């Protein structure tokens, strides 16, 4: 292993992992350490590495040949493909240890763990030899300075045993800082692997918009667990921040009493589209659609249409098509006239009326269309987005290809990844 005197765990987060020939393996998501009954520094057992298919696997530290500022290299490109599961004696350094409250040898001194430093031993092991801590001084007042950061030996910090970490409340500041550079789907994978207590603490610390994005990427059981943990008023706020189709899917899994109570707490303009979606079966075009596609009237210009699809909050699939309808333009709209593909918009003069570029020949989906019919529709017309129109020619919403894929994949695809894998012999890490 390349000689390294000390590596802080937070520096490893997100680093790419390569095999000996430079082949990409994945990214570091956490560090696994084995807690001890005595006061000796915990042994670093290995890394949690997220593969390209989002499966998280365990890589023993003995497989790591070098740790550089921009990458981690393994001795072999073959890794155990078994999904990582935390064992009772293990702690996730980034997921559990950071933000933990601890004590020092001095009387009444309380600190917050900010980071942990790994150091190699003469036996090729790595241990959590040092902790970066900040004294907990309470709320900062005028003229008071923030407590300075201190790096102390593990043995000088108390209250970090397994029972301590399981019982005490933790903040989530350090973990949220790591999330800043991650996509919601990657944050969801990290949150899913955390112990329930820590998962709830992270959810409590996230802002509503961020939590809504992450909740949309979690399996339904985890969604329901977090929603149940939140106060009902905040749960309603989170549902309002979610895409209406995702909110409807989640509410459909709840009991009628819980569903109705949360819908009543939501603002009427936010709950109405969700209620409309709940009227359809989840495996039909009506249940799959989003009620918020891009809709313009026939007298709008190409420039207006391009401006609408540039909206950063719009998903890539929804941005591929603009729907043209008579007023009103809120779903359910006035009479559906046709659609314009975004590639056509790019080829036309900005001042041109959008009505001149309509594709009125593209068939529409009916809200009762079953999943199989919707799938064939997308395959036949090579679309990323398609209109859902009722028998009275009102546009009700749009189905996107990602929603179709979500329902075609196995229910547990978020937990197991997308690829079939073969498992190597499990490496002992206890």
The total domain count for the chain is 3
Indicate if 47 and 153 belong to the same structural domain.
yes
Indicate if 21 and 134 belong to the same structural domain.
yes
Percent of the chain with pLDDT over 70: 88
- 339: in domain: yes
Which of 129, 154, 175 represents a domain boundary (last residue)? Answer: 175
pLDDT digits (tens, 9 = 90+) for 159-176: 886 556 655 566 677 778
Is the pLDDT assigned to residue 361 strictly greater than 50? yes
Indicate if 221 and 262 belong to the same structural domain.
yes
Q: Provide the pLDDT for residue 179.
A: 83
- 430: in domain: no
Indicate if 403 and 323 belong to the same structural domain.
yes
- 286: in domain: no
HEC string of the chain equals CCCCCCEEHHHHCCCEEECCCCCEEEEEEEEEEECCCCCCCCEEEEEEEEECCCCEEEEEHHHEEEEECCEEEECCCCCCCCECCCCCCEEEHHHHHCCCEEEECCCCCEEEEEEEEEEECCCCCEEEEEEEEEECCCCCCCCCCCCCEEEEEHHHEECCCHHHHHHCCCCCHHHHHHHCCCCHHHHHHHHHHCCHHHHHHHHHHCCHHHHHHHHHCCCHHHHHHHHHHCCHHHHHHHHHHCCHHHHHHHHHCCCHHHHHHHHHHCCHHHHHHHHHHHCCCCCEHHHHCECCCCEECCCCEHHHHHHHHCCCCCCCCHHHEEEEECCCCCCCCCEEEEEEEHHHHHHCCCCCEHHHHCECCCCCECCCCEHHHHHHHHHHHCCCEEEEECCCCEEEEEEEHHHHHHHHCCCCHHHHCCCCCCCCCCCCCC
Is the pLDDT assigned to residue 306 strictly greater than 70? yes
Indicate if 311 and 397 belong to the same structural domain.
yes
Is the pLDDT assigned to residue 143 strictly greater than 60? no
CATH number at residue 134: 2.30.30.240
Indicate if 168 and 71 belong to the same structural domain.
yes
Average of per-residue pLDDT values in the chain: 87
Percent of the chain with pLDDT over 90: 60
Domain that residue 350 falls in: 295-408
Indicate if 118 and 208 belong to the same structural domain.
no
Residue 146's pLDDT band, with cuts at 50, 70 and 90, is low
Residue 145's pLDDT band, with cuts at 50, 70 and 90, is low
CATH number at residue 191: 1.25.60.10
- 420: in domain: no
Indicate if 101 and 196 belong to the same structural domain.
no
Q: Provide the pLDDT for residue 140.
A: 45
Higher per-residue confidence, 225 vs 171: 225
Is the pLDDT assigned to residue 52 strictly greater than 70? yes
């Amino acid at each position: 292993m390349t000689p390294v005197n000390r590596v802080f765990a937070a520096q490893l987060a997100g680093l790419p992992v390569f095999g000996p020939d430079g082949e990409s393996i994945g990214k570091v998501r956490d560090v696994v350490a084995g807690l001890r009954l005595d006061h000796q520094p915990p042994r670093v057992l290995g890394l949690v590495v997220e593969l390209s298919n989002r499966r998280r696997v365990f890589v023993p530290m003995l497989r790591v040949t070098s740790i550089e500022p921009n990458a981690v290299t393994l001795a072999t490109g073959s890794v155990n493909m078994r999904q990582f599961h935390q064992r009772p004696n293990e702690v996730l350094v980034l997921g559990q240890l950071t933000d933990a409250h601890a004590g020092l040898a001095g009387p009444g001194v309380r600190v917050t763990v900010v980071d942990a430093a790994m150091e190699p031993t003469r036996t090729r092991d790595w241990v959590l030899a040092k902790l970066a801590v900040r004294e907990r001084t309470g709320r900062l007042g005028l003229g008071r300075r923030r407590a300075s950061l201190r790096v102390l030996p593990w043995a000088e910090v108390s209250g970090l045993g397994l029972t301590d970490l399981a019982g005490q409340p933790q903040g989530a500041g350090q973990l949220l800082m790591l999330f800043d550079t991650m996509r919601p789907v990657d944050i969801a994978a990290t949150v899913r692997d955390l112990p329930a207590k820590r998962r709830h603490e992270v959810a409590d610390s996230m802002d509503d918009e961020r939590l809504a994005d992450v909740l949309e990427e979690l399996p339904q059981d985890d969604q329901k667990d977090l929603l149940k943990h939140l106060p009902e008023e905040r749960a309603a706020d989170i549902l309002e921040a979610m895409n209406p189709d995702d909110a409807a899917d989640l509410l459909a899994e709840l009991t009628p009493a819980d569903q109705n109570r949360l819908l009543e707490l939501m603002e009427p303009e936010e709950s109405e589209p969700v209620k409309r979606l709940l009227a359809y079966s989840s495996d039909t075009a009506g249940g799959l659609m989003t009620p918020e596609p891009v809709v313009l009237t026939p007298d709008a210009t190409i420039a207006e249409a391009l401006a609408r699809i540039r909206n950063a909050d719009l998903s890539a699939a929804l941005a591929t098509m603009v729907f043209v309808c008579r007023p009103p333009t809120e779903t359910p709209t006035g009479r559906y006239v046709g659609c314009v593909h975004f590639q056509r918009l790019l080829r036309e003069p900005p001042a041109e009326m959008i009505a001149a570029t309509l594709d009125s020949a593209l068939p529409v989906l009916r809200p009762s269309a079953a999943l199989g019919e919707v799938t064939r529709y997308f395959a036949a017309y090579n679309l990323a987005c398609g209109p859902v129109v009722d028998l009275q020619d009102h546009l009700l919403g749009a189905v996107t290809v990602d929603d179709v894929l979500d329902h075609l994949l196995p229910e547990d695809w978020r937990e197991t990844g997308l690829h079939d894998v073969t498992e190597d012999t499990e490496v002992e890490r206890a």
